[in-house]
Amino acid sequence: MAGGASALAIMALGVLLLAAPSECARAFFVFGDSLVDNGNNNYLMTTARADSPPYGIDYPTHQATGRFSNGLNIPDIISEQIGAEPTLPYLSPELHGAKLLVGANFASAGVGILNDTGIQFVNIVRVSRQLHYFGEYQGKLRALVGASQATQIVNRALVLITLGGNDFVNNYYLIPFSLRSRQFSLPDYVRYLIFEYKKILMRLYDMGARRVLVTGTGPLGCAPAELALRSRDGECDRDLMRAAELFNPQLSQALEELNARYGDGTFIAANSFRVHFDFISDPAAYGFRTAKEACCGQGPHNGVGLCTAVSRLCANRDQYVFWDSYHPTERANRIIVSQFMTGSLDYVSPLNLSTALHIDASLMD
Q: Greater confidence, 23 or 79? A: 79
DSSP line for 194-256: HHHHHHHHHHHHHTT--SEEEE----GGGSHHHHHHH-SSSSPPHHHHHHHHHHHHHHHHHHH
In the beta sheet, which residues pair with residue 105?
A: 30, 89
All structural domains of the chain:
28-363 (3.40.50.1110)
Distance CA 262, CA 210 (A): 9
On the question of pLDDT at 260 being above 90, the answer is yes
On the question of pLDDT at 1 being above 50, the answer is no
Which residues are known to be catalytic? 34, 324, 327
On the question of pLDDT at 14 being above 50, the answer is no
168: which DSSP letter?
A: I
Distance CA 220, CA 197 (A): 18
Helix (H) or strand (E) holding 148, with range, is helix 147-156
Q: What is the mean pLDDT of residues 344-361?
A: 94
Distance CA 57, CA 68 (A): 11
At 218-255, the pLDDT tens digits run 999 999 999 999 988 889 999 999 999 999 999 999 99
Q: Yes or no: say if 66 and 36 are a contact pair by the CB < 8 Å rule.
A: no
Kindly compute the dihedral angle of the four CA atoms of residues 155, 160, 166, 171, in this order, to the nearest 10 degrees.
10
At 133-170, the pLDDT tens digits run 999 999 999 999 999 999 999 999 999 999 999 999 99
At 112-142, the pLDDT tens digits run 999 999 999 989 999 999 999 999 999 999 9
| Of residues 219, 163, 128, the one with CA closest to residue 33 | 163
